[in-house]
């Protein structure tokens, strides 16, 4: 009876291919021209500002929910 078969044991050593340093990219060119790149970054900055504003609104909603929850609990305690 054979309980198991011999399997290769993984090691922590990297393969030779992984050890080789990456070759630098030469003559890399941009996909977008300068004006399109600037426009994209401006849009990204606007999006980030909008998301920051959403965070303030959500914080205000959380505060209002906590206040309503407190009022509700006080009304329940007054009835008992």
Residue 45 lies in a domain: no
- In this predicted model, which residue has the larger pLDDT, 25 or 33? 33
Number of domains in the chain: 1
Q: For residue 28, tell me if it sits in a domain.
A: no
| 6, part of any domain | no
Residue-wise pLDDT tens digits, 3-20:
666 777 777 666 655 666
pLDDT tens digit sequence for 46-77? 999 988 888 889 999 999 999 999 999 999 99
Among residues 32, 29, 28, the alpha carbon closest in space to that of 40 is found at 32
Of 21, 40, 24, 22, whose CA–CA distance to 32 is shortest? 40
Domain that holds residue 75: 53-80
Residue 67, domain member (yes or no): yes
Specify if 35 maps to a domain: no
H-run or E-run covering 67: helix 34-79
In a domain, 24, yes or no: no
pLDDT, tens digit (0-9, with 9 covering 90-100), for 32-53: 889 999 999 999 999 999 888 8
């Amino acid at each position: 009876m054979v309980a198991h078969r011999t399997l290769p044991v993984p090691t922590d050593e990297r393969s030779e291919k992984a050890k080789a340093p990456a070759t630098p990219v030469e003559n890399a060119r941009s996909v977008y021209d300068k004006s399109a790149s600037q426009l994209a970054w401006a849009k990204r900055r606007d999006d980030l500002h909008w998301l920051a504003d959403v965070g303030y609104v959500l914080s205000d909603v959380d505060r209002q929910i906590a206040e309503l929850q407190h009022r509700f609990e006080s009304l329940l305690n007054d009835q008992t």
